[in-house]
Structure 1
């Protein structure tokens, strides 16, 4: 019996796995280092003793951060942004992708709309026109200034419409025979069959809204309205901001922490929700087949 793999194939597989493992380690090590700093004492961090394992294990930095009202308020703004933003993104993405997945004979204006979307991917009006538009609409210092400018992610629309085009036309024709309209077919046929793709795009939208920081800086005049990542940006670039608005209890806590441990704790807390969410949706990246295809 001939071996399924030759020696060159085994060598390629070994090198491929080695490269991917090294790449994963390079991505994980910085996060482990940040976690180790956040769990270490002020003296150990100041002495440069912390590498990949905490020294003098303590949770005092997390206690200090969770007592800060600014961190909790920014976290609340981000949670609100993610819930509203992802819902708006996915609704508009689905509604735009479905008609654009049709042939030109079914949707006469399809080509025009496709070129408009492609144009927006290649060219942008710039930051100043965007800011003036948001200001004119009265959206400054509003949660909607973080959502509406990016309400329709064109790249996600392109991905989803291509997935819709792979669904057998016979399913739609059978639904038409049963008396269903376009909207019912969309929500009862296309969306259930496209859940792997929709779940993946939902993760993309979630990560995008969670990690966004620049729009919070330019659209929010009050730091109290900053989303979490914008707040973390100001903390990382302004050490004095950590000491802002401390009460007596927090001042005592601050004496036991340093700016480095406080920054590390906030950065890790900011990344933790996505780290917990990602593994549950990872399986949808490789599940792309249509369930329940046409038989006979």
Structure 2
């Protein structure tokens, strides 16, 4: 099946009152697991590659992008390719040639005015090339290299009035918001502000995105979608499943050297995680 666009998947989910999940891809096994999990669930999904993942691959976007696109085209599931948390303008501009239909441009560390200006420039560039652009307002902590951030601290969460002005000023196609989740959580203990999600959904005309969903319990995700959240980002949960299987195999087989022996169960564990998250979205 050919790649579909992220904008198409998000619009379909929003119109149906559902969510659509975006899963972080670091290795080929991640991409294969997302495709397999989506096929088993009979639901679409988004393969997203972050700037951090590109850095892990020596700063080269093309190899992991091409591999992920090839997996998507070979799958029976409807899958799209998304570039996540981009701060480097050169990487943003490389996305078009590598077949990405969407980009999350992250200027959230800048001042509000600088965020608006920089993001508006990215949106103009993307829209000229048919690229759907997501951005972030508020502070969703937990990103690699950042100091720990309390998701409930004053000033962290996204303000609905500011969000409405931000969307109008930038022209973004979707908005990632801070509502109580955090990146890189390994335990599913996050408590979301569902009243705020509803207020944000009413305030802005574009779909809302939940980052840090790995740390959010099932029922909290369901309630978030009911309140207006659409794109649900999952990363750490895949890595937890992957690493658990690898650690278990190597502990039990101390002389083993064939990576296929532990990568196969690790990929299967990630596929199970994908299917589980997709089951929450309708």
Return the TM-score normalized by structure 2: 0.24
Whichever of the two has the greater Rg, that structure is 1
Choose between structure 1 and 2: higher helix proportion.
Answer: 1
